[in-house]
Structure 1
Amino acid sequence: MKKLALAVAVPLALFGAATFYTSTQVESTARDAVDQANVKLHEMSAGGGADVSLKLLSFDRGLLSSAARYQIDVEIPDDEGGTRQYSVLLQDRLEHGPFPVSRLARGQLMPVAAQSHFELERTPLTEKLFDAASGEIPLVGDVTIGYGRQYGDLRSAAFNVQDEEGTVRVSSGTINFEAAKDATAVRMDGELPEVDINLQHSVTGKPVRMSLRGFSLSADKQEDANGLALGPSAVTLKRMEIQTGDEPAVVIQNASVEEALSQGSGGLDQTLAYRVGQVEAQGQTFSNLALAFSLRNLDEGSLKALLDSYKELLESGSDQQDAIANMTDAQQQKLQAQAVQLLQHKPTLALDEFGFETAHGTARLSVVLDLRGPSEDAFTPDAMITSMLASLKAEAGIDKGLVRDVVSLIAQRQQQGGQVDPVALKQETDATTDLFSGMALNAGWSRLEGDRLVSSLHYADDQVTFNGREMSVQEFMSFAFGSVQGSGLLGNR
């Protein structure tokens, strides 16, 4: 019995000692976490127009758990040049490690520093959220504070708001996250399944219905040695419907915004792409809509110096607008010098893709600009811009069938409210399509390949190749001005 008692007592004593030691460290851990959060929030808000900060209001330490209260302050500029401040409060119950009771109850035996259970506190500002949540707490979260990382989830309740202006229904949402102890690496993903909005249009008085399905976000970021966040992030939406009155709904499917910063062979590469799988409007279907940009071959050191100087500029005034409006000559010269230094590395700016498809054709445009440092003898803005352009390559193509679809849609919108005559609509659509195609071909801006209008423009070493025709820059400018003037776009003189 003595051996059995000893076998039980020793682990309990060790557990108690470890728990007591952890309880003495939890407050400092919480305060360090607040300090680190404020550093990251400050970095994120620079240039964004809003200032967000976190405060630890109180900390009551116990043996097995402690209670803390936090305040999140948000300052947003208003239209009158001032700022509006909003504050929300969070209550937190911190279970002490190394074996918090809630984790043991779930069979999680890995030792951790603490387990946090926080929730939004009811205040006059959040009163409507609590009412809309029908007795649920609007925002709760669980965070496991490990010895080298933190991970957990943030959950919102379902909301149902009703007033004289209409109704808003939002399903419950979740964000899962994981971060390194020093927040140099962060992974997260979240989902909001459903949002339904039914309101009255402020001008026409017609009912407006909007529904969103499958809203999600994700990020996988890791800081490099210069503090730049490498990795991808994305926001996606599976489906959105917008309907005004009795008009047919506009349906958008599989929309996304994707961003990534990566280390390429010639430096940093930044990409940003907006994509929509399909849009249905006025009986027409548009698919594979894309707008994608990239900035490649960025020198990391020059980029970091430019970003740091820009942040310093924004922090030099009472607010960001004041800082930019009162920029000194020294600040402007410093930014210009660092921008030139970035150009010396010969970055590439590209519109990688712009286009869409209809049932009868596609349209695509791409533009690639290879940049370089400006020439020392470029004293005018035009000469400086010209000297910074090392080369340009642009490719464009559009099917005549797509032009016809777009013209038909515009014509239907113009006849909205009246009876659409199919025969007259077809005649107008065909005539406008032929006029557009004829102007593009006659002016020399496009050539016809089958039923597709295509154009290409290449520039390098002061030489232009436009649709296979070689000419000097001066000759191209004369051609461009003459063709535009001949088409009547500049008016008659």
Structure 2
Amino acid sequence: MKKTGIALGVLLAAGAVCTGGAWYTAGQLEGALQGAISEGNRQLQTSMPGSGLALELVSLERGLFSSTARYRLRLDKPGDEEPAAELRFVDHIEHGPLPLSRLASLRWLPVMATSRVELERNADVEPWFAAAGAAVPLRGTFAIGYGGGVDGQLQLAPLQVVAEGEKLDFSGLDLDLAVGADAKDIRLSGAVERLSLDLQHERGPVRISLNGLSLDSERSRGRSTLYMGESRLALASSEIRLADQPPLLIRDLVQSDSLHEQGERIAASLAYDVGGLSYDGHELGSARLQLSLGNLDMTALRQLSELYTRYAMRLQGEDDFELSAEEETRLRDALLQLLAGQPRLALDEWRVKTASGESRFTLQLDLDRPQQLEASPDALARQLIQRLQASLVVGKPMIRDLLMLQAVFDPQADRAALSQEAEQAAQMAGEMASGLQLARLEGENIVARLDYRDGQVEFNGVSMPVEQFAAQMMGMAALGGDAFGSQPGALQE
């Protein structure tokens, strides 16, 4: 009997705590929603200035254990005579600290509220509902913590649209997200299984399909107020088919980027990879492109970001405007401060690879703050460019592979004749580049290297003043197609 009384007391105490927590949540809910909406609108203005997107709370029906909120997302376009389009959402909110839906799924961690949001039907989104069949096309489930963080899932329903002989087939999107208090941290992870388009073209029907699309992103607002972190967007395969032609297949397409603070500087990188490209089952090759920025002054970059956002917002109401003298001064000072940090811009890797060979190109540009802005363009460029390095490697086997692709696209082509022509073209390219002193031959590679610093250029191992190098390049350009027949000695110093 004593144990039963104790258990009953615990249950009553727990019920009192939950009821009190629910009452507290109900009282705090509207302020929390308005704060989240204000922060969301601020983020929209910052990330997409001039978009005209704005979210607002239309109504809130509060209860003790649950509430219902309605929102409106408006898309206003300044100067557009058409009425603003809008999306309306209904939000079924369960108050914390222990909403029943979380208890049913054995999640015991207290939260302020849970939210089930669904897109409501109206004239603007009726075609979207029709494409989703019986499902609600957009919905989400979220848990709101007492600290202000949000965790949840967003779902886009599968869609099918058929109109005038064209078709869209979308398998749907599942997106997991976690947003910290005041949107300081943002994590996204999502996937789309399939998206296909059947289109009509003057040459016949076209089919484009994407398979295995995934997104992973993790960002945190740094000391610069900009979002630092990494993201990765990957596509397992994409197929393009025109009329009765064989398919073009792209595999393992990946975009990745990184942004990080290093002391008072910011470094960024962006890379694109194509794992494989094939046509009618014949492998064509792969490619990679990687860019980077380094030594970016944190304060200057933040000022430029703020100026860009402000100007983009002004464009919403003004088709044309001029910067004031004060704005021009702020922009110039921010750019000069950025250059004073000696930023580095680099094409770290551009590589194209075929079955037998590959070609690569790299470029690195180190900048500096000019001392005299009123100098001539040549003098200004000398002050601005601290160093420039470039390297180009072209594989003659890759040249042969590229010319042999004609046999892939034209099965009737004479492969023996094409092979001979490809060999001659690769040999001629090497001899022409070497004869004009544009490059050197290193085995099966055509190689060119350039290094500029302090008015001096080292080009393929030969040093000369930048004026002489410029004159030499202009002379080669003037020779044009006749350059190969010229005497190499004419280009000597």
Q: TM-score with structure 2 length normalisation?
A: 0.91
Q: 2-side partners of 1:331 and 1:450: how far apart?
A: 56
1:255 is displaced (CA, Å) by: 0.7
3-state SS of paired residue (2:236): strand
Aligned to 2:308: 310
1:141-172 deviation line (CA, Å, top 9, x unaligned)? 10100112210010111112222232211112
Q: Which residue among 44, 47, 51 is the counterpart of 1:44?
A: 47
Match of 1:16 in 2: 19
1:394 aligns with 2:390: yes
Q: Paired residues, what number?
A: 481
| Contact 1:239-1:251 at 8 Å conserved across structures | yes
C-alpha distance in 2 between matches for 1:7 and 1:384:
79
When structure 1 is superposed on structure 2, of 85-94 and 311-320 the one drifting more is 311-320
Q: Is the 8 A contact 2:358 2:395 kept in 1?
A: yes
The residue type paired with residue 117 of structure 2 is F
What is the letter of the counterpart of residue 174 of structure 2? T
Aligned with 1:380 (options 355, 376, 380)? 376
Secondary structure of the residue aligned to 2:169 is: strand
| Aligned partner of 2:339 among 334, 337, 343 | 343
- CA pair 444-288 structure 1, distance change in 2 beyond 3 A: same
How many angstroms apart in 1 are the aligned matches of 2:234 and 2:37?
Answer: 30
The residue that corresponds to 1:55 in the other structure is 56
Quick one: structure 1 residues 343 and 211, their matched pair in 2 at CA, closer, same or farther if it must change by over 3 Å? same
- Residue identity in the other structure for 1:277: G
Report the 3-state secondary structure (helix = DSSP H, G, I; strand = E; otherwise coil) of the residue aligned with 2:183: coil
Structure 1: gaps spanning 5 or more residues = none
1:139 positional shift: 1.1
Q: Deviations over 1:205-260 (max 9, x none)?
A: x1111111111112111011231111011211110000101112111111112111
Query: Which string of whole-angstrom CA distances, capped at 9 and with x for unpartnered residues, describes residues 266-295 of structure 1?
Result: 721011112111111366534441121111
Task: Please name the residue that 2:402 is paired with.
Answer: 406
The correspondence for 1:421, drawn from 398, 401, 414, is 414
Q: Distance in 1 between matches of 2:126 and 2:323?
A: 42
Q: Does 1:104 align with 2:103?
A: yes
Instruction: Tell me what 2:489 maps to.
Output: none
Whether 2:451 is the aligned partner of 1:458: answer yes
Is the counterpart of residue 32 in structure 1 residue 31 in structure 2?
no
Alignment of 1:423-462 (within 5 A): 423-462=416-455
The SS at the match of 2:338 is helix
Distance 2:187 2:236 in 1: 22
Distance 2:260 2:403 in 1: 41
Equivalent residue number for residue 328 of structure 2:
332
**Secondary structure of 2:314's partner?**
coil
Code of the residue aligned with 1:137 in structure 2: it is: V
Match of residue 261 from structure 1: 259
| 1:368 match | 364
SS at match of 1:126: helix
Residue-by-residue CA offset, 1:303-354 (whole Å, 9 max, x unaligned): 111222222222334457634xx33454334312211111011111111111
Once the two structures are superposed, the pairs formed by residues 220-235 of structure 1 within 5 Å of their partners are: 220-235=218-233
Deviates more, 1:297-306 or 1:279-288: 279-288
The question of whether the paired residues in 2 share the 8 Å contact of 1:407 and 1:433 is answered with: no
Q: 1:7 to 1:463 in 2, by over 3 A?
A: closer
Q: Where does residue 297 of structure 1 map in the other structure?
A: 295
SS of 1:408's partner is: helix
Q: Is the 8 A contact 1:286 1:356 kept in 2?
A: no
Give me the identity figure in percent. 32
Out of 360-369 and 51-60, give the one that drifted further: 51-60
Whole-Å separation in 1 of the counterparts to 2:213 and 2:309 = 32
Between 423-432 and 103-112, report the one with greater CA deviation: 423-432
Q: In structure 2, what residue type is equivalent to 1:86?
A: A
CA contact (8 A) 1:391 1:461 kept: yes
| Cα separation, 2, equivalents of 1:110 and 1:236 | 34
Q: How large is the RMSD of aligned CA atoms in angstroms?
A: 2.5
Between the aligned partners of 1:470 and 1:426, the Cα distance in structure 2 is: 39
Q: Distance in 1 between matches of 2:373 and 2:482?
A: 35
C-alpha distance 175-372 of structure 1, shift in aligned 2 (>3 A): same
CA distance in 2, matches of 1:284, 1:85: 50
Following the alignment from structure 2 to structure 1, what is the Cα–Cα distance between the partners of residues 83 and 480?
52
| TM superposition shift of 1:483 | 2.1
Q: Return the TM-score normalized by structure 1.
A: 0.91
Query: Which range moves more in the overlay, 128-137 or 307-316?
Result: 307-316
Q: Following the alignment from structure 1 to structure 2, what is the Cα–Cα distance between the partners of residues 228 and 83?
A: 35
Quickly say closer, same or farther: Cα 1:473–1:376, change in 2 above 3 A. same
Cα distance 1:28–1:265, how it changes in 2: closer, same or farther (>3 A)?
Answer: closer
Q: Rate the CA distance shift 1:291–1:76 in 2: closer, same or farther, 3 A.
A: farther
Query: Distance in 2 between the 1:41 and 1:428 partners?
Result: 57
